[in-house]
Amino acid sequence: MQNEGRLFQSSYPKSFRDLVGKNGVITMQGEQQRKLHGIASNMMRLEQLKFHFLKDIQLVMLRSICNFSDDQVIVLQDVCRKVAINLMVNQLLGMSKESEIEEMAQLFSDFVDGCLSLPINLPHFAYHTAMKARKRIVSKINSTIERRRTEGGSEDVGNGVLGRLLDEESLPDEAVADFIINLIFAGNETTAKTMLLAIYFLAQSPEALKKLQEEHDALKKATAEDILSWQDYKAMPFTQCVIDETLRLGGIAIWLMREAKVDVSYGDFSIPRGCFVVPFLSAVHLDENIYKGALSFDPWRWTDPENQEKRNWRSSPFFSPFGGGARFCPGAELARLQIALFLHYFVTTYRWRQLKEDRMSFFPSARLVNGLQLRLTRRTEAP
């Protein structure tokens, strides 16, 4: 990861590149990739989180997860996917209408399903359906761009990242569409699954759940508003431990794809130029020589002084849930904010009981086989 563009370069099959777009930050190489990565990082820096995203995320949470009825049964995987696409479409495209969000959710569901399918572009195959979904998504993005140019930055047209991208950067429309698709693809499924797995692990650890609820009940009591402030967000130390432990144990980006640009010697191995290398991040995250009880969910491990250096997810070689180097995830801080706020509203609004045993599957990505079926009980007040 630290030798991007020198010893190794990011590399994906042509079928995947055709889906996510040739102008996106995921597939671009060299100077253009650095430019797009810089734009994405700038759009999602801390100042933007405080003033553009914090309130919008919470309004989506209040609308999406706080209205389930008492004793309602949900499949949490479906709920988290809907919340995540709602967040991404709202923040990137400025869309807030339910009908628009539902349509984009279905299109991106078809799109994601095709990314790990056989690349057969014929009717009734997942890849073909995904390519059709891509065309529809590009059309909707272009339509939003045109509306913004003709109507200005009104609320109906959207003031998300797309609006700032058009105002502040000079990219052709084709590159803008690929850029937005890349950000939604990278941020949607990963955030949804991390929200899901956090609740799954907490359900297996009553002590951690109790500690998390106490932290968020205290925050809820301390504020007279439904909307938390940035100071409230920064006052969630145990929540950050839960997020880090979820990312370590159930990280979504468990492997990467790289291609050797030159002949590389690594230890006793010789990697010829042009060979594919697949580093498994989870092989480090789950290594008993690095983390005691590596296969156990233990948020308290991140309060141990000996793990503080490992915990620096921006640069640590032992904890890389957001990648590293030139392709470090530009939305890492945004993702953590979304997950923390999701946990706040979920644990302060509901108690729950798991209805069916679930099990983890780690390949090709971390997932729960049954989607975590829960029966919810509304909390009338914090204890």
Of 49-63, 134-148, 152-166, 283-297, give the range with the top mean pLDDT: 283-297
**CATH code of 154's domain:** 1.10.630.10
Average pLDDT over residues 123-147: 92
Residue 383 forms part of a structural domain: no
Parent domain of 329:
8-378
The pLDDT tens digits for 58-88 are 998 998 899 999 999 999 998 998 899 888 8
Strands 350-354 and 360-361: unpaired
State the pLDDT at residue 167. 76
Q: What is the pLDDT of residue 373?
A: 93
Any domain includes 16: yes
Percent of the chain with pLDDT over 70: 95
**Mean pLDDT of all residues in 345-351:** 96
- Contacts of 8-14 with C-beta under 8 Å, sequence gap 24+, read 8/258, 8/259, 8/260, 8/261, 8/264, 8/277, 9/258, 9/259, 9/261, 10/256, 10/257, 10/258, 10/259, 10/327, 11/257, 11/258, 11/259, 11/276, 12/257, 13/119, 14/119
- The answer as to whether 1 is a domain residue is no
Who wins on pLDDT, 358 or 194? Answer: 194
Is 143 a member of any domain? yes
Tally Cβ neighbours within 10 Å of residue 229.
14
Please report the pLDDT score of residue 146 as a whole number. Answer: 86
Range in 24-28, 130-134, 156-160, 353-357 with the lowest mean pLDDT: 156-160
Does residue 125 or residue 315 have the better pLDDT?
A: 125
| Overall domain count for the chain | 1
**Structural domain includes residue 35:** yes
| 80 labelled binding-site residue | no
The verdict on residue 2 lying in a domain is no
Average pLDDT over residues 287-312: 93
- Determine which of 21-30, 38-47, 93-102, 145-154 has the lowest per-residue pLDDT on average: 145-154
Domain presence at residue 193: yes
- Domain annotation covers residue 140: yes
Percentage of the chain with pLDDT > 90?
44
pTM for the predicted model, two decimal places: 0.90
